[in-house]
Structure 1
Amino acid sequence: MPDRNKAYTVKRVTWQDAETDLRILREFVFIGEQNVPVELEWDGKDEQCVHILAQDKKGRGIGTARMTTEGHIGRMAVLRAWRNRGVGSDMLTALVTIARARQLSRVQLDAQTHAVEFYQRHDFIPQGGTFMDAGIPHQHMTRSLPPLDVHININDLPKQILGETRGYIDLKGRDDNQMTAIHMVSQATRSLNLFTPNLDPRIFNNEGFIDAVKQLAIGNPRAKVNILILDPSDVVSRGHRIVELARRISSRIFIHRADDEDQDRVDTFMIVDNIGIIHRAHNDRFAGLAEFNNPPEARLLTKTFNDAWERSQPEPELRRLHL
């Protein structure tokens, strides 16, 4: 579970939506504290980068970082009062998770030399000698993101065992996603956490998936199914079998609406029994990855899910559908 006393949150944002906050932080840290020339700081790449924004409980920006489409991490800035409190680590972890979801083979960065040990703790390795950038000594560092064990053909899906089989499956179409979700959830015995913008009916509103969720919910008195939706309006207007299932098994299946600060997410993912994962970087595309046995990645996604769940609320419209 997330630390309820944690004084900040970390989320993915776009430059278009959060430019003001990101500019203020970087101007304060880089231009103000470190005397980086303005023309070097604003390099024209921000609109194409993925950005991370850390905020305190009042929604004020306290840290930021970015990553290019090629996996170059940079512009890591944390306000002085928030340094050495885990903000940088959480932002870096978020970017590495995004890089894995994009199937990048490695990430890289140019660390200020005083921060080399910090990045080494996150498995980055120095490459070459130090160099000067904006008058500050830097060290180039890389971290490999090797393929997750071996590639598994989708035709071998029936052989995959939750918690045992190592390897990853490339998901390419609707059927891949639907069959994999059913096969993974049908083996669950403890939990299902599902983060989805709209409970995509092409994948989740079918008899096989609903039956798998039902068997999980009734098969273990401690089992729990948490479903977090960004926009419940489509579910409300068209109906969904999983809503009816949640009405009948209300003590085990919970559906919440995501908080406003999570509304900019575009991905969808599920974690099954805290060990199996399915992750699509873009909800409107079928391309994604599935793994039946990857505890480290499952832990990272579980933390992301739990943090968002803590901020979420039961959806009134869905509760009315339950009546």
Structure 2
Amino acid sequence: MKIRIRKYSWQLAPASVRQIRQQVFIDEQQVPEALEWDDTDDIADHYLAVLPDNTPVAVARMFSTLSETAHIGRMAILPEFRGRGIGRTLLNRLIQDAAGQFPELRLSAQRHAVPFYQRSGFHVCSSPYEDAGIPHVDMCCLAPELVAAELGRRHYPMVKGEDADAWLFHCEEELAALLDSLVSQASQRIWLYDRLLEHDLYDRFRFREVLSALARRHRLSEVRILIHDDRPLVKKRHRIVELMRRLPSRIELRLVNSQYPVEDQPFVLADREALLYRHDFYKPEGFANFTDSGRVRLLSESFQRMWDAGRNSLELRELPL
């Protein structure tokens, strides 16, 4: 179904924006009015989807309170127009508008709508909770610019266990976005192998946050970091090391033993099915795959051999907190 999408401020939005939310959230889903209307409306961009004859059929809003994160919400499609692809068209327009401006998109999704958002590159990033008496989860997209370029060409883009196509990267920005997307979806373990724990890549706020969230998630969480050289960590304080000190049973770092065979390319493994692989220690070029258990199994075996032969860092052990 062909639709047009218009964007408004709250002050200039037509009455139909409010009417659709009233019908869907308050009348149909029994959301209390006091929760539906909030101050965020004043700072958000409001999107209205209309048919060729200008019949309004769906709404959404998007806002940002922090410079790096945009929030999508209040998506509502009138009952008689559901199941026709209108919601996905509207969501994809929001993603395209945000791409290039925000490296992170977030939303709160009703549990039944999770597959809908996954088809546009969002993944679950919280435990279930209730909002207005309705089960919800938080979802995020940590690479909106990359996802926006592939909308309509991939099913479940960047969703672990669903997206089986490789994502190529050729620059540091793409590498970082794919790394964050991969690590944030790990449910139990991250195994990281590299020459150095580069500050520019691994000491970024977003990467530390997703790694910390995994390490704290449950008692079986496991983060293994295997590197060749720990001297840069000693010269310049690395906040991953501080995190490792606070969670020693969840995050462990070892140095490779140069007397044993080692891999010539760095990689990151998420659980037993997703990976990010670089072709060279010194270049931000390679690929990520969110569903490739065969390749992950082979690299896991190699990592385990290097890990068993590795040694603890005496330099880091002697650093003061």
TM-score (norm 1): 0.50
Check whether the contact 1:197–1:266 (CA below 8 A) recurs between aligned residues: no
| CA distance in structure 2 between the partners assigned to 1:265 and 1:164 by the alignment | 28
Check whether the contact 1:174–1:202 (CA below 8 A) recurs between aligned residues: no
**What is the CA deviation profile of residues 31-81 of structure 1, one whole-angstrom value per residue up to 9, with x for unaligned ones?**
xxxxxxxxxxxxxxxxxxxxxxxxxxxxxxxxxxxxxxxxxxxxxxxxxxx
Aligned to 1:29: none
Check whether the contact 1:186–1:216 (CA below 8 A) recurs between aligned residues: yes
Q: Is residue 2:154 matched to residue 1:154?
A: no
| CA distance in structure 1 between the partners assigned to 2:311 and 2:220 by the alignment | 22
The residue type equivalent to 1:273 in the other structure is D
Alignment of 1:166-245 (within 5 A): 166-245=164-243
Check whether the contact 2:262–2:306 (CA below 8 A) recurs between aligned residues: no
Q: Is residue 2:308 matched to residue 1:310?
A: yes
1:321: Cα distance to partner?
2.3
| CA distance in structure 1 between the partners assigned to 2:239 and 2:168 by the alignment | 27
| CA distance in structure 2 between the partners assigned to 1:208 and 1:221 by the alignment | 22
1:202: Cα distance to partner?
2.0
1:159: Cα distance to partner?
3.6
TM-score (norm 2): 0.51
1:171: Cα distance to partner?
1.0
Answer 1 or 2: higher relative contact order, Cα 8 Å, separation at least 6: 1
**What is the CA deviation profile of residues 150-196 of structure 1, one whole-angstrom value per residue up to 9, with x for unaligned ones?**
xxx93358941112211100011101111111111111111000001
The residue type equivalent to 2:147 in the other structure is N
**For residues 251 and 264 of structure 1, do their structure 2 counterparts lie closer, same or farther at Cα, with a shift above 3 Å needed?**
closer
| CA distance in structure 1 between the partners assigned to 2:227 and 2:170 by the alignment | 23
| CA distance in structure 2 between the partners assigned to 1:262 and 1:210 by the alignment | 30
**Between the two proteins, what is the percent identity of the paired residues?**
26
| CA distance in structure 1 between the partners assigned to 2:179 and 2:202 by the alignment | 8
**For residues 296 and 264 of structure 1, do their structure 2 counterparts lie closer, same or farther at Cα, with a shift above 3 Å needed?**
closer
1:316: Cα distance to partner?
0.8
Gaps of 5+ in 1: 1-152
Check whether the contact 1:229–1:257 (CA below 8 A) recurs between aligned residues: yes
The 4+ residue runs of structure 1 with deviation greater than 4 A are 262-265
The residue type equivalent to 2:205 in the other structure is E
CA RMSD of aligned residues (A): 1.9
**What is the CA deviation profile of residues 204-231 of structure 1, one whole-angstrom value per residue up to 9, with x for unaligned ones?**
1101001101000111210100000101
| CA distance in structure 2 between the partners assigned to 1:262 and 1:290 by the alignment | 27
Alignment of 1:121-136 (within 5 A): none
**What is the CA deviation profile of residues 270-320 of structure 1, one whole-angstrom value per residue up to 9, with x for unaligned ones?**
100111000112110011010001000000110110000000011011112
Aligned to 1:270: 268
**For residues 272 and 322 of structure 1, do their structure 2 counterparts lie closer, same or farther at Cα, with a shift above 3 Å needed?**
farther
Alignment of 1:20-169 (within 5 A): 154-156=146-148, 159-169=157-167
Check whether the contact 1:246–1:254 (CA below 8 A) recurs between aligned residues: yes
**For residues 262 and 212 of structure 1, do their structure 2 counterparts lie closer, same or farther at Cα, with a shift above 3 Å needed?**
farther
The residue type equivalent to 1:191 in the other structure is R
The residue type equivalent to 1:277 in the other structure is L
1:239: Cα distance to partner?
2.0
Check whether the contact 1:196–1:268 (CA below 8 A) recurs between aligned residues: yes
2:295 equivalent among 297, 301, 305: 297
| CA distance in structure 1 between the partners assigned to 2:251 and 2:272 by the alignment | 17
Aligned to 2:257: 259
Higher Cα radius of gyration: 2
Aligned to 1:35: none
The residue type equivalent to 1:192 in the other structure is I
Residue correspondences, number:
171
**For residues 301 and 265 of structure 1, do their structure 2 counterparts lie closer, same or farther at Cα, with a shift above 3 Å needed?**
closer
**What is the CA deviation profile of residues 8-45 of structure 1, one whole-angstrom value per residue up to 9, with x for unaligned ones?**
xxxxxxxxxxxxxxxxxxxxxxxxxxxxxxxxxxxxxx
1:322: Cα distance to partner?
5.5
Check whether the contact 1:198–1:229 (CA below 8 A) recurs between aligned residues: yes
| CA distance in structure 1 between the partners assigned to 2:315 and 2:200 by the alignment | 22
Gaps of 5+ in 2: 1-144, 151-155
